[in-house]
Amino acid sequence: MSFIDDAAASASATTSSEGSDPRRATLVASLRARYAIAEQRQDADAKRALFKEAVYLGIRPDAYQGSSSAA
């Protein structure tokens, strides 16, 4: 049960510290810029790769995707 508790605590800490972590802000900005380019090029493979990268980094897609979240 401690694993679940640790995961829940980690998830809540991640969402509460979004604004105060400069590394995370830089990662989100990078994802946003690259997502905008992939959108402009209509590159589904690039968007899929960005999604995988975001998941690996623990960043939710809505943090870097604009109002159009169709991949």
64 in Cβ contact with 27 (< 8 Å):
no
pTM (predicted TM-score): 0.65
Going by the DSSP 8-state scheme, the letter that residue 59 receives in this structure is -
CA distance 26 to 67: 20
pLDDT band at 31 (very low <50, low <70, confident <90, very high): very high
Burial of 54 (C-beta count, 10 Å sphere; 0-12/13-18/19+)? buried
In the chain, what are the domain boundaries?
A: 2-63
- pLDDT tens for 35-68 read 999 999 999 999 999 999 999 999 999 999 975 4
